[in-house]
C-alpha cells in the first residue's frame, strides 16, 4: 500500500502526457470492448497472457508460486506471465504501452485510478465479461463493485479491499489504566485522558497520506460529510463535517494527546516501541513482522462522529484495450480473473482482504487469520475511493490541508477552504481534459 503515494503522483504525470495519444485506444481491440464476452472457461488455442501488478514486496511470493503457478498447472492452454513492477512505474508506462499495443492482457488498478483509464479508452468495457463470469454487486462488499463503473459501463472486477482499523498496544493501554478498547468518542477520549495522566500520548496523528489522510476522511464520513459532491464537480471536504474532523485531529495535538510534527510512520513505530497505545492504520499492518511478540489487538476504528464510517482502498482487475488486442487472450484473462478470485484465500496473508464474499466470509479465513476479523466487520460501512478522471491531483490537496492544520500554519477551516479552492480548479480542468 505504501506504493500509493508515488503511484498517484506518477499517474497524474503519465496520463497528462498520454491524453493526447489515447483518443481511440479501445478501438484497436479486435471486435471492440463489448464483443469480448469472457466466460469462466477457455477452449481456444494456447495463449500466453501478461499480468501487470505492483506487488513487488512481501506479497510477491504469494502470487508466485502459490497462486499463478497453480493456475498455470491447472490450465494447459493458458500461461500467465507475472510482470511485477512498482505502482508508480505502472502508472508511468501502462497508458502509452496500451496505445502502442504493448500493454498487459490483464492488470490490477486501484479504485481511484479506474475512471482515469476508462475516460481515455485505455480499458475494455467489461459488462459482457462480468455478466458471463456471473458477477453482480452482491458478490462483493457494499459499494466496491460500483467503483469499476464509469458512465454506465463496467470496466473492472474487484480483487481486494484494505480498510483502516484501530491498532492497540495492550500493554501501554493497561499501563494507563484503560481496561477496554474504546469504541466511540466518549470512551476514546476517556482513554486518552487516562493515558495522558500516566505520561503517555495515546494517539499520534500525522499529516501524511499514510495514515493521517485516511483518518481524516474516515472522520468526514463519520460526521455526515463527503469529500466531493455527487458528480465530482466540486470539493466538499471543507464542509462543517470536514472542519469538525480536522479540528478533532488538531485538538489531539493541542490537548497533549499527540505530539506535534509526527514524522511519516512515526505513529506506527511509536505503537510498536511502546510509546503510544492507539494507531489508526490499514489492514496491511497485520502482516508487519514487528508485531510478533507484541501484546496487541486490532479493532474497528472508534465512532467519533454521528455514524459509523471508515476509509478503505480497493484494487480491481481490468482488461486493457491494447491496439490489436487478441480476443483469445482477453478471454483467457477473464478465466484467470475468476480463478484468482475463487482461490483468493491465501491473498489474506498479504494484509489485503479478498473482495469475493464467498472467500472472505468463509469461517476458515478468520480461523487462519484471526486479526482480520475486526476489518471484515467494518466493510458494511466502508467508503471507497472517489471515481472521477484525474481525481488523484485533487485528493493530494486534502493531505496538504491536513499538514498545514496539524503543524499550526493554518486553522482547520482556512486550510480546508484553501485546498477546496484549488481542488475545484483541478476538477474543472479535469472536466475539460477528460470530457467528463
pLDDT at 197 over 90: yes
CA distances from 425 to 113, 343, 418, 421, 422 (A): 19, 44, 11, 7, 5
CB 167 within 8 A of CB 296: yes
Closest to 312 measured CA to CA, from 401, 215, 423 = 215
pLDDT at 53 over 80: yes
Domains of the chain, first to last:
4-161+314-363 (3.40.190.10), 163-312+389-434 (3.40.190.10)
3-state secondary structure of 204: coil
CB 84 within 8 A of CB 56: yes
More confident position, 31 or 121: 121
More confident position, 24 or 405: 405
CB 156 within 8 A of CB 106: no
Cis amide prior to 211 (ω within 30 degrees): yes
CA 319, 321, 323, 327 torsion-angle sign: positive
Mean pLDDT lowest among 10-14, 143-147, 203-207: 10-14
Is 413 exposed, middle or buried, given 0-12, 13-18 or 19+ CB atoms closer than 10 A?
Answer: middle
Q: Give the tens place of pLDDT for each residue, 211-245.
A: 999 999 999 999 999 999 999 999 999 999 999 99
**Cα–Cα dist 254/128, whole Å:** 54
pTM of the model: 0.92
Q: Give the tens place of pLDDT for each residue, 350-384.
A: 999 999 999 999 999 999 999 999 999 999 999 99
| pLDDT at 60 (0 to 100) | 92
Q: What is the mean pLDDT of residues 120-135?
A: 96
**Cα–Cα dist 194/180, whole Å:** 12
Is 153 exposed, middle or buried, given 0-12, 13-18 or 19+ CB atoms closer than 10 A?
Answer: middle
pLDDT at 15 over 90: no
**Cα–Cα dist 48/60, whole Å:** 20
pLDDT band at 149 (very low <50, low <70, confident <90, very high): very high
How does DSSP assign 19-76, residue by residue?
A: TTT-TTGGGGSTT-GGG----S---SS-EEEEEEE---STTHHIIIIIIHHHHHHH-T
Closest to 435 measured CA to CA, from 56, 118, 66 = 118
**Cα–Cα dist 315/337, whole Å:** 13
If you average pLDDT over every residue of the chain, what do you get? 92
Q: How far does Cα 377 stand from its chain's mean position?
A: 17
Q: What is the mean pLDDT of residues 170-195?
A: 98
DSSP H/E element including 11: helix 4-18
pLDDT at 148 over 60: yes
**Cα–Cα dist 158/146, whole Å:** 9
Mean pLDDT lowest among 2-11, 46-55, 76-85, 178-187: 2-11
- The percentage of residues in the chain with a pLDDT greater than 90, rounded to a whole number, is 89
**Cα–Cα dist 29/129, whole Å:** 15
**Cα–Cα dist 201/212, whole Å:** 16
Neighbours of 273 (CB within 10 A): 12
| pLDDT at 12 (0 to 100) | 40
3-state secondary structure of 121: coil
Cβ neighbours of residue 371 closer than 8 Å, sequence gap 6 or more:
286, 297, 298
| pLDDT at 38 (0 to 100) | 63
Amino acid at each position: 500500500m505504501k506504493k500509493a503515494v508515488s503511484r498517484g503522483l506518477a499517474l497524474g504525470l503519465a496520463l497528462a502526457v498520454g491524453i493526447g495519444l489515447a483518443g481511440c485506444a479501445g478501438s484497436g481491440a479486435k471486435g471492440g470492448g463489448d464483443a469480448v464476452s469472457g466466460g469462466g472457461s477457455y477452449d481456444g488455442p494456447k495463449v500466453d497472457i501478461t499480468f501487470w501488478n505492483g506487488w513487488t514486496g512481501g506479497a510477491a511470493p504469494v502470487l508466485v508460486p502459490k497462486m499463478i503457478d497453480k493456475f498455470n498447472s491447472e490450465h494447459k492452454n493458458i500461461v500467465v506471465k507475472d510482470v511485477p513492477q512498482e505502482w508508480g512505474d505502472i502508472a508511468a508506462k501502462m497508458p502509452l504501452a496500451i496505445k502502442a499495443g504493448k500493454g498487459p492482457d490483464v492488470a490490477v488498478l486501484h479504485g481511484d485510478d479506474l475512471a482515469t483509464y476508462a475516460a481515455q479508452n485505455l480499458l475494455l468495457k467489461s459488462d459482457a465479461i462480468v455478466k458471463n463470469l456471473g458477477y453482480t454487486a452482491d458478490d462483493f462488499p457494499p459499494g466496491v463493485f460500483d467503483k469499476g463503473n464509469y458512465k454506465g459501463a463496467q470496466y473492472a472486477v474487484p480483487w481486494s479491499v484494505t480498510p483502516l482499523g484501530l491498532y492497540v498496544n495492550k500493554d501501554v493501554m493497561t499501563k494507563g489504566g484503560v481496561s477496554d478498547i474504546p469504541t466511540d468518542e466518549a470512551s476514546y477520549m476517556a482513554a486518552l485522558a487516562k493515558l495522558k495522566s500516566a505520561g503517555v500520548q495515546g494517539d499520534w496523528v500525522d499529516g501524511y497520506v499514510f495514515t493521517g489522510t485516511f483518518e481524516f476522511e474516515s472522520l468526514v464520513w463519520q460526521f455526515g460529510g463527503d469529500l466531493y459532491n455527487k458528480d465530482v464537480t466540486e470539493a466538499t471536504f471543507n464542509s462543517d463535517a470536514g472542519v469538525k474532523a480536522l479540528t478533532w485531529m488538531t485538538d489531539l495535538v493541542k490537548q497533549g494527546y499527540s505530539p506535534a510534527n509526527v514524522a511519516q510512520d512515526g505513529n506506527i513505530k511509536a505503537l510498536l516501541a511502546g510509546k503510544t497505545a492507539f494507531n489508526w492504520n490499514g489492514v496491511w499492518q497485520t502482516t508487519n513482522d514487528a508485531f510478533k511478540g507484541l501484546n496487541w489487538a486490532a479493532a474497528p476504528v472508534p465512532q467519533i462522529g454521528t455514524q459509523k464510517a471508515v476509509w478503505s482502498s480497493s484494487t480491481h482487475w481490468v482488461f486493457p484495450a491494447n491496439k490489436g488486442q487478441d480476443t483469445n487472450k482477453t478471454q483467457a484473462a477473464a478465466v484467470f480473473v475468476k480463478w484468482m478470485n475463487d482461490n483468493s484465500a491465501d491473498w489474506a496473508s498479504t494484509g489485503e482482504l479478498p473482495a469475493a464474499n464467498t472467500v472472505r466470509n468463509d469461517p476458515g479465513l478468520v480461523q487462519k487469520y484471526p486479526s482480520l476479523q475486526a476489518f471484515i466487520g467494518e466493510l458494511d460501512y466502508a467508503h471507497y475511493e472517489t471515481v472521477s478522471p484525474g481525481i488523484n491531483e485533487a485528493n493530494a490537496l486534502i493531505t496538504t490541508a491536513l499538514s498545514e492544520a496539524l503543524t499550526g500554519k493554518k486553522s482547520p477551516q482556512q486550510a480546508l477552504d484553501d485546498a477546496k479552492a484549488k481542488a475545484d480548479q483541478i476538477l474543472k480542468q479535469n472536466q475539460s481534459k477528460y470530457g467528463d
